[in-house]
Amino acid sequence: MAAPCSSFFSRDSLHALFDKGSSQTLHRRRGSRLIVRADADYYSVLGVSRNSSKSEIKSAYRKLARSCHPDVNKEPGAEQKFKELSNAYEVLSDDEKRSIYDTYGEAGLKGSGMGMGDFSNPFDLFETLFEGMGGMGGSRGSWNGAVEGEDEYYSLVLNFKEAVFGVEKEIEIRRLESCGTCNGSGAKPGTKSSKCSTCGGQGRVVTSTRTPLGIFQQSMTCSSCNGTGETSTPCSTCSGEGRVRKTKRISLKVPAGVDSGSRLRVRNEGNAGRRGGSPGDLFVILEVIPDPVLKRDDTNILYTCKVSYIDAILGTTIKVPTVDGMVDLKIPAGTQPSSTLVMAKKGVPLLNKKNMRGDQLVRVQVEIPKKLSKEERKLVEELADLSKGKTAATSRR
C-alpha cells in the first residue's frame, strides 16, 4: 500500500489541487486557510478524541478490530467495518499522515499520495499488531508462513435402515499427511535453510505502483518461499511440499435419523497443514438408497396398503412392513377409501434424539372387484336391497 513518497505535495500544491475541482466539500475561512470536510471522521470510527495519544489510538483499534474481524464476527457488514477501522488506524497511528488529515481531511491524504497508508490489506495490519492472535485470520496464513490444511470430502452411501437407525462404518480416505522424512519442513534432512533472496527473509514482498495521486505499495506473501522467509534443498520424499498423500481408515459413527444430503464433520481428519499449520476437517456427505416400499417424509414414513371392500366394510387385521419389521395393523370396520391410519412412533428417530420418533402413516386403498361370480352378485344385490329398505324406513320417520 502507499508508503511515503519521495516528495510530498506542499501545502500550496494541495490548495492548487483542491481549487481545480475536488469531490470533497471545500470551505474558505479568514486568512484564506483551506478547510476540507472529510468523507469519514477517523476519530469517531475508533471512538477516540482528537487529542488522543498514540497508545490510546492503538488500544482502541485493537479492541474494536478484534470484535469486528470477519473470522470471529459473522454478522453482515462486519468485514466492511473491520476495513474502516484499519484504514482509520493506519492514518492516525502515523504522525505525518495524522497531521495532514487533521489539517486537510481525507482528501488531503489522497492528494499527497498517502491515502492508503502502509498496508494494502487490513488483515496484514491486524496480523502485524496481533501476531496471529491464536488463529484469527488463520486461513489467510500468518507471518511465520504456517498454512491451515485443506478440508477433505468423502461420499458415503447408506441403505434406508442404516440412515433411520444410525450405523458405525469404517471408511478409507486418502489425504495429505505430514512428511515423515522431513517432519513436514519440506527440507532435505541434514541440510540447512538459507534466507530467501527474493524477500530478504521477510516472507513478504512489496510492489510499488506510481499513480497520479502518488506511489502506492502492496505487500503480499513471497512466492519463492511461500511466506517462510527461507529456502532450502527440497526433501526427496515430498519434493519440498512437506506433505505426502497417504491412506487412512477411520471409524465413523453415523447418528440415527440422517438423510440424503446430510453432512458429518470429523474435525482434524482433513489434510495436514504446512509449516506447522493446523489440519483441515473431513466432511462426509451422505447418500441414502431409497426403500422400494417405505417412503420417507421428514421423520414420518409413508406406506400404502390394499384391502378388499369386504374387509373395509367389516374390518380386519393385516400385516404391515415397518422399519422395525412386520407389525399387525387393525383396519377398523367401515374404513373409507384413501383413509390414513397412524402407526404411532414407527417412523424415523429425530436426529440426535433417539427416544423421539415420527409416525408411520398408512394410506388405505379399497379394492373393488371388476367381475363378480353369480353368487357374489346375488349377495351384493341382496345387500343393496337391504340398504334401500333401511333408507326408505328412515325417510318415512
Residue 8 lies inside a defined structural domain of this protein: no
Do 70 and 89 lie in one domain? The reply is yes
Residue pair 387/374 in contact by the 8 Å Cβ criterion: no
Which residues are CB-contacts of 331 (< 8 A; sequence separation ≥ 6)? 307, 311, 312, 315, 316, 317, 318, 341, 364
Residue 97 lies inside a defined structural domain of this protein: yes
Residue 384 lies inside a defined structural domain of this protein: no
78-92 helix and 54-68 helix, angle to the nearest 10 degrees: 170
Do 174 and 286 lie in one domain? The reply is yes
Residue pair 283/265 in contact by the 8 Å Cβ criterion: yes
Which residues are CB-contacts of 143 (< 8 A; sequence separation ≥ 6)? 127, 128, 131, 132, 203, 204, 227
Residue pair 162/254 in contact by the 8 Å Cβ criterion: yes
Do 342 and 258 lie in one domain? The reply is no
Do 220 and 321 lie in one domain? The reply is no
pLDDT tens track of the chain, all 397 residues?
Answer: 333 333 334 444 444 444 433 434 444 333 333 333 445 688 998 999 999 998 899 888 888 887 877 666 778 887 888 888 888 888 898 888 888 888 877 766 665 554 443 444 555 555 555 544 433 444 344 445 577 899 999 999 999 999 999 999 999 999 999 999 998 888 889 888 888 888 887 777 887 777 666 666 677 878 777 777 788 888 999 988 889 999 999 999 999 999 999 999 999 999 999 877 889 999 999 999 999 999 999 999 999 999 999 999 999 999 999 999 999 999 999 999 999 999 999 999 998 887 899 999 999 999 998 888 888 888 888 888 887 766 655 555 5
Domain that holds residue 210: 194-231
As beta bridge partners, residue 247 has 174
Q: How far is CA 183 from the centre of its chain?
A: 31
Do 66 and 115 lie in one domain? The reply is yes
Q: What CATH number is given to the structural domain containing 252? A: 2.60.260.20
Residue 389 lies inside a defined structural domain of this protein: no
Total number of residues shown for the chain: 397
Do 151 and 256 lie in one domain? The reply is yes
Do 167 and 270 lie in one domain? The reply is yes
Do 204 and 299 lie in one domain? The reply is no
